[in-house]
Structure 1
Amino acid sequence: MDVQIPLNKLKFGHEDGEGINARVIGRDARLAELAANLHAHGQIENLVVKPMGDGFYSVANGNRRLAAFHLIHGETSSFLVNCTIHEVDETRAFEYSLATAITAEQLHPVDQYEAFARLEAHGKTNEEIARQYGLTEKQVRQALALGRLAPVVRNAWRAATITADAAKAFTLALDHGTQEKLFAKLEAKGDLNPWSVRAALGAGKLDHDVLQLLDFVGAEAYRARGGEVIEDLFGHSHIIQDADLLKAMAREKLTAECEQLRADGWSWAEIMDDLPKGARYWPPTELKQIAYEGDEKQRLDAARKALDDLYQQDDYSDDEEERLGLVIEAIEKAARARSFTAKRKAELGCIVDVENGHLVVSFGIKRPAEAEPARRNVDAGDIGGAAASTSTKPKAPDEPEISQALKQRLGEQLTKAAATALIQDEQLALSVLLAGFCSYDGAGVKVSVNGLGGGGPDEEVLGSDEFPKALRLAMQLKPAERITLLADIAARALNFRDFALDNDDEDSGAIAICNALDPSLINPALRGAFDAKDYFAGVSKALSLKAIEEALGPDLARQQAKGGKAEITAFAIENVPPTGWLPPQLRPKGYDGPPVKKPKLAPIDGGKAAAKPKGKAAPAKPAKAAKPVKRAASAKKAAKKTARKR
């Protein structure tokens, strides 16, 4: 029987006896979206209910819609809800709920996104779509981008020939023609994976620290300053034309934030990158009470609970996780900022940084005295630039001399005793090691970070290059923080200047380290560091031709062999790096680039295309797709500089 029942007379199925609602996980998932849809379109399908007695009814089918009605009207509202009453027992009502949950067939994502694109074609604005379907503006942009994919990509996704991530990667190509050509090219190679699509389109050339700045600065602001960008709507693999402009704009925003904080009464405010690496571990001042205002505490607790509930779901929304995280961060930031008195602000400072594209401010930081920059007079005669103090201590009275040999033996004895004691206190040992790496004179600890992997003074690690001060800073760190800094120091200590990876020296530390590294980490790093212009300009014509053959095939190598050294060099610089090729000296055990067997390429000067090779042999490991081959305009023309990681 179809009836209308007041909302405040309806109970959730799981509140009826042992529960008649089969759904347990996901009861509260995407309720805001469902509420928005119900508000925009009204109720389309009746709730299925059974009588509970005393005028109340329990819902067997439609519990999420009931929760959405609560969001819209409130639990105590008498709003009339369309329902269908079934006079059944608890067992039968539970079976109704289970049957509906199991037989419900969700739209395939492709069908859903095509439907959104159709709404847009019918004149719906992004704002209207977002409001009616409970989506954020970003989610609408994502849906429309996927709905506008070339038919060949959508059909492959629908048929599970490619993954959802691969389909999303194709949105970086803004027109169907580019998408179709790239799809055909990668399909022929058996290489339709997300990273190959992104690489072929020129994405992923910058590291995450730079790419995340686009979210911080804003794509529109970046474009307004003359920057060109193709946004990755599903991650951070943006295609950015001017990374230096982006970094400059980010620094401008961070500097302005620092100025505002100082104007608000804080003693100091600094950008994280301008401080020692150890600054991220400087402890914030503990507060006895946080100054929440209004309903901030309630909203904070609700957001934290919602985030905990979200993590209990097997398949939760990353967008919802980000939204809740931003709500929590905004409330905590505002409350903590106002919890310091004017007097405390004048004594403490703030550190500003960008994390995952968002501004992060650490309030109430006390800069350790040991981390204050040392004031020394630089001795112009000191080649290393080390500072020398002009002050001298009074000389002690003459003491009886002992032999140098005895001094050395005593030192050895002291060393053995100290080592025996220190080895029994692991955390102190780590602190001593860390401080020794970061101090300019060692003070008895003979360690060094004078390798090529770093790029800054020793004091940038902890905040001081004097051993006593560095030791006090190191002892204040938590165990996990010491390990983190030790890893950073290990990287600073590397120096492979005299080593290469193309020899078979079993005792080579450089080879052992590089071979032990995860290929997914070392290969992109090598390609980012490889200076193709410098390499090809410095090798012989034969080696350049060998690289062209390995990366692009023997046909192109033979064609280029007819030219001069300058022309071959320019061609190699332009066309070899996009294939992922690296010289033998930079190939670790997990190297994944050419040479691999490649199909013949079409002639670059016109004519009939080369015959397609029989069969389709997939490469042994994922290979980066090459962009179309370009001929050097002339031997004298400057070749395009390859992108390098900062």
Structure 2
Amino acid sequence: MAKAVQKIKLSPSRDIPFNKLVLAQSNVRRTRAGISIEDLAEDIARRSLLQSLNVRPISDAEGQETGMFEVPAGGRRYRALELLVKQKRLTKTAPVPCIVSEAGTEITAEEDSLAENVHRVALHPLDQFRAFQTLREQGRPEEDIAAIFFVSVNVVKQRLRLVAVSPTLLDVYADDGMSLEQLMAFSVTAEHARQEQVWESVNKSGYDEPYQIRRLLTERAVRASDKRARFVGLAAYEAAGGNVLRDLFEEDGGGWLEDIALLERLVADKLRTEAEIVAAEGWKWLDVAATFPYGYDHEHRRLEGTPADLTSEEQVSFDALQAEYDALQAKYEDADELPDEVDARLGELEEALEAFANRPDVFKPAEIVHAGAFVSIDGEGGLQVERGYVRREDETAFVAATAEPDPEASSAASLADAGDHGGPPVQRATITVAGHADADEEDDDDAIRSLPDRLVAELTAHRTLALRDAVACHPQVAMTALLHKLCVDAFYQTYTPGCLEAGVRHVQLPGQTPGLKESASAKSIADRQAAWKADVPTDEQALWDWLATLDDASRLALLAHCTSFGVNALLEKVDRHGGSGVTAHGLQRRLDQADRLARAVNLDMAEVGWRPTVDNYLGRVTKSRILEAVREAKGEGAMQLIDHLKKSEMAREAERLLEDTRWLPEPLRLAEVAPPSDVKEALPEFLSDDEGQAGEIGEIEPAQAVAAE
């Protein structure tokens, strides 16, 4: 016979006046959590009590019920009701829905309180996101939703952004296939197909950190901090229909501009407009680009303008700004920290004073009509105009026009140049926007091919620039290299160009080499050039006497600096047709000498800051080359992590893996020095070591120069 199942008897519910309830000391909740009592009271006032209180009757010493009830479970709701009574918004006798537990039960009040809190299951975040979306679809503004649930408007925006992620990824999140932080990263873009594509990639590769997801989702966009974006302005970009990707969960620096083509067009249009204003000054030519390559101003004569005089009104304004700035500086000289308003005002004053200092120089009209200017964007996103450059082809006309002329002839020439307009002719700027994008072609050929000629030329351009910088810092090496070149010419009549093109003729480097202009070597050379230029006389006739007054250390440093500009370690195409290009023999001599020079100055391209990136190497070689680089730097295991990826993804991951490894491609490595084989170029004994062989540059002693080859 089946045993009868014991029936469960639920506790009865009843309405009890609030003034008959007291808060029990057996409530297990001691730590404050969740929304405040004040917010909970407002919610009860708006929608009434959604959950009954759990109460127990209070008995006297004889065990008789007193008519009062204690509240062991539901203490926060009781406190909220108590607050409403104190605010006169609820009568103290208002009936409160309660579940009444039987007196004398074996289950304690503490157990009831603990069970109510432990058995409660929090709402899944995705359900909350979808609930917010439902309210939004019902017409509730984001501000109202925020007020109802006592959260900030930004929190509501975040929740709505999360629920807008691809439904496929939301299902993955619901099944615990991704973390909330990963889901947040996907909210950067609203493009579902792109989100799913990135998830498939990172999920397979294992590199699925939130920062990696954000990087892949925004790799086709331009940061708002980019100088082009700052030059155009986000407002103008968005007004033109451009979309800005924003991250509501992380600091995004202003976001990412998604439409690069639109941004480039806006940059070109604004630069063209600014260039037309500059062209009205009468320059013969204007070169306009967002960024010019390194060495863009080589082969140009740079004119020296004179600072424009301040008008009386400008002088008064300048003096007032300077006086206010000095007064604030003196007042807060000993302060540990400036007040915010004072710090802001000092910044405004500095900017205004800097504007006076950065006014364009004044050039002579006779110079302007034969010279031009470069118009570009500076590193802060502002307009940069560099005036007063004379091209080589205009040099003859410039010299003739600026020579001491006959007054009458000068007057006639000026009138002829002015034509019918009574002023110098104006040449409209030729606008050329620099930059190109190589196709991200898929190359599945497993064979390791030779590096492209153009890539090798660009890599050796980096090496040439670094070598120049290093030679300039080693005066004895520079002097030995120069002495070697002169000795070869004097004793052996060998005129095949080598590594050092003494003269010194500036060697032009590939203009579009990625990162060349911003490299540490380029900045070091530019700073050194500026420092020397500040000391060198502007009058060429005074140069000899000035050089004669320099001490030996200064003369050596200047010699090294000037010599370094003739360094040429470029690997170029050989001219096989006997033209004016470099021959195979000449190219080999150049590279051999460049290796010797690099060893002498201990050149380490990793040390000077070169790193393999998608732009400068990894995106421009075969997959096999990429895998070879990772294997050499990180080992077979790291290579296997990326060998299944497409080329574009493989290049990006390889860039990350190689970032701090100091790995270098072959053209940038320090080659072994081969023993000299050209007996015709053996040096005289006084330049040789004890065994008759040419000593290495790196073994230079201060008192004795040795040969570079």
Q: TM-score range by the shorter chain?
A: 0.3 to 0.5
| Higher-Rg member (1/2) | 2
Q: TM-score, normalising length from structure 2?
A: 0.36
